[in-house]
């Protein structure tokens, strides 16, 4: 482009009769100087872009290791998960989810770390690692929750040397257990929003009577973590979520009406359900989330004898 522009300058100066004047080398010199600056700036930009691309690739790989995708099927359950970070270009923030297959039982964890930034990611990483290990070691949800509480407290104690406010950090969490041989779901809440259950066209909240305090502030014995059992029949769908869903606001500042909107969601497929919720949330809040959002949809397929075709 610089050479083409220089040739054009020569033609213009020749047309104006300036070929033998001292203006021609001045024009060409100024043009080459500007072109050289542009080429150098572009080279620096390309170098920075390559470095940024590499950093993003490493960051995305690290975040995917931290927040592993949940398999689409665990046992007889069909599952879908979604994470939307409030921070641009981030894949992981202070929200978390995980699923573990232990024997003939599927266990789920969803949680929300207090705070944002790297401290929140550190706390989420500590809880996820503890859950993936302890979910295979403890027979009941209360024992599992007590183990997670001890792990979170050890982590926060280690962080106290670097963060004087570590005593104010905690994690709301919801533990869910679905046995293969029972038509039930066991729920244990540590200050976390209750899940939604959809059954035969109706949607209800699975509210627990005695939620435990958030992890980091709770007790360390299993007796301090009561679990609650609900019916979970073939054809039912369970939605786990963080407060990024219920605390989303529209332009007038009104919170997202979860139960009202749930009646319009497509619950037939877990993946379609999460996609529908995400689009509906963008429509309501104007595609802007002030908080991270994590969701896990769990569907128990109906038996063949329960299908409309079989009934007919």
Task: Average the pLDDT over each of 95-104, 163-172, 201-210 and give the range with the smallest value.
Answer: 163-172
**In whole angstroms, what is the distance from residue 78 CA to residue 188 CA?**
21
- Residue 275 to residues 58, 241, 272, 287, Cα–Cα distance (Å): 27, 14, 5, 14
**In whole angstroms, what is the distance from residue 58 CA to residue 69 CA?**
17
Interval 13-43: pLDDT, tens: 788 887 778 877 888 888 888 888 888 999 9
**In whole angstroms, what is the distance from residue 17 CA to residue 34 CA?**
24
Q: Which residues touch 116 (CB under 8 Å, ≥6 apart)?
A: 87, 93, 94
Q: Regarding predicted confidence, which is higher, 292 or 201?
A: 292
Instruction: Quickly state the pLDDT bin for 239 (edges 50, 70, 90).
Output: very high
**Residue 32 has what pLDDT?**
84
Task: Average the pLDDT over each of 63-72, 176-185, 227-236, 243-252 and give the range with the smallest value.
Answer: 63-72
User: What's this model's pTM, rounded to 2 decimal places?
Assistant: 0.78
**Residue 312 has what pLDDT?**
38
**In whole angstroms, what is the distance from residue 180 CA to residue 182 CA?**
6
**Residue 142 has what pLDDT?**
93
What is the torsional sign of CA 232, 74, 80, 289?
positive
**In whole angstroms, what is the distance from residue 246 CA to residue 258 CA?**
6
**In whole angstroms, what is the distance from residue 69 CA to residue 34 CA?**
50
**Residue 305 has what pLDDT?**
44
């Amino acid at each position: 482009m610089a050479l083409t522009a220089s040739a054009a300058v020569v033609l213009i100066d020749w047309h104006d009769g300036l070929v033998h004047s001292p203006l021609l080398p001045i024009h060409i010199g100024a043009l080459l100087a500007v072109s050289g600056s542009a080429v150098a700036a572009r080279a620096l930009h390309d170098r920075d872009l390559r470095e940024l691309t590499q950093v993003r690739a490493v960051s995305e790989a690290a975040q995917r290791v931290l927040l592993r995708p949940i398999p689409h099927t665990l046992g007889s359950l069909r599952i879908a998960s979604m994470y939307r970070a409030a921070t641009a270009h981030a894949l992981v923030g202070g929200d978390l989810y995980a699923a573990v297959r232990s024997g003939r039982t599927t266990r789920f964890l969803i949680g929300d770390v207090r705070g944002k930034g790297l401290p929140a990611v550190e706390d989420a990483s500590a809880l996820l690692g503890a859950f993936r290990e302890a979910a295979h070691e403890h027979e009941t949800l209360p024992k599992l929750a007590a183990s997670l509480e001890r792990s979170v407290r050890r982590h926060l104690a280690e962080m106290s040397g670097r963060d004087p406010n570590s005593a104010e950090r905690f994690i709301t969490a919801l533990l869910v257990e679905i046995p293969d041989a029972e038509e039930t779901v066991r729920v244990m809440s540590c200050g976390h929003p209750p899940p939604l259950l959809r059954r035969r066209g109706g949607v209800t909240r699975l509210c627990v009577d005695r939620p435990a305090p958030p992890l980091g502030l709770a007790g360390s014995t299993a007796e301090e973590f009561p679990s609650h059992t609900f019916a979970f029949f073939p054809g039912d769908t369970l939605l786990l979520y963080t407060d990024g869903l219920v605390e989303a606001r529209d332009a007038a500042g009104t919170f997202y009406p979860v139960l009202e909107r749930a009646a319009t969601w497509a619950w037939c497929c877990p993946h379609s359900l999460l996609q529908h919720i995400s689009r509906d949330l963008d429509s309501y809040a104007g595609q802007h989330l002030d908080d991270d959002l994590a969701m896990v949809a769990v569907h128990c397929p109906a038996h063949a004898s329960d299908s409309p075709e079989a009934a007919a």
